[in-house]
């Protein structure tokens, strides 16, 4: 069967990371969370596994001296940096904002104050956005391993 090795490697790495993430969530929380199957954040980083598998696949197909590998390497660094930096910080901010909203809601209901808290009081910001360096490292290693064991066609 003929297939695009680069895309196949990336998709398999992403799917594996998402499945692992969902299983780890279930083991920790003893309940299924379907959002973990498609959502961002958590262990391992599916963004990192996806982009790393793509980069390794390009290196195997086009070579380490190719323009394609150079471009993929640069994109991988940007994605990995973003996963650990900007998106991780945004997740921490969301966590703190959610805490403040809960406090304000509790304060409002305990004092019978009719404060407007930005509309929907029950909606929380997503806190799973980015990754710790360890979550990224595991995602990178997963992407490397899968891209190396998937047959080159």
Residues 3-21 have a mean pLDDT of: 95
Q: What is the pLDDT of residue 10?
A: 97
Residues 128-142 have a mean pLDDT of: 84
Residue 12 pLDDT greater than 60, yes or no: yes
C-alpha 76/C-alpha 140 separation (Å) is 10
When the pLDDT of each residue in the chain is averaged and rounded to a whole number, the result is: 82
Query: pTM surpassing 0.75?
Result: no
CB 52 within 8 A of CB 76: yes
Which residues have a Cβ under 8 Å from the Cβ of 69 and sit 6 or more positions away? 55, 58, 59, 62, 63
C-alpha 117/C-alpha 107 separation (Å) is 11
CB 90 within 8 A of CB 128: no
**pLDDT tens for residues 34-47?**
777 787 777 899 99
Q: What is the pLDDT of residue 147?
A: 97
Residue 20 pLDDT greater than 80, yes or no: yes
**pLDDT tens for residues 72-127?**
999 999 998 888 776 666 666 667 776 776 766 666 665 544 444 455 455 665 65
């Amino acid at each position: 069967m003929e297939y695009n090795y680069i895309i196949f490697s990336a998709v398999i790495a992403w799917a594996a990371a998402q499945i692992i993430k969902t299983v780890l969530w279930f083991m920790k929380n003893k309940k299924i969370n379907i959002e973990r199957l498609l959502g961002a954040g958590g262990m391992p980083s599916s963004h990192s596994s996806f982009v790393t598998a793509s980069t390794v696949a390009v290196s195997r197909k086009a070579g380490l001296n190719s323009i394609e590998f150079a471009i993929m390497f640069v994109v991988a660094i940007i994605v990995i940096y973003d996963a650990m930096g900007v998106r991780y910080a945004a997740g921490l901010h969301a966590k703190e904002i959610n805490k403040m909203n809960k406090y304000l809601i509790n304060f409002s209901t305990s004092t019978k104050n009719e404060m407007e808290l930005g509309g929907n009081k029950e909606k929380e910001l997503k806190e799973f956005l980015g990754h710790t360096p360890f979550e990224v490292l595991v995602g990178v290693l997963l992407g490397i391993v899968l891209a190396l064991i998937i047959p080159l066609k």
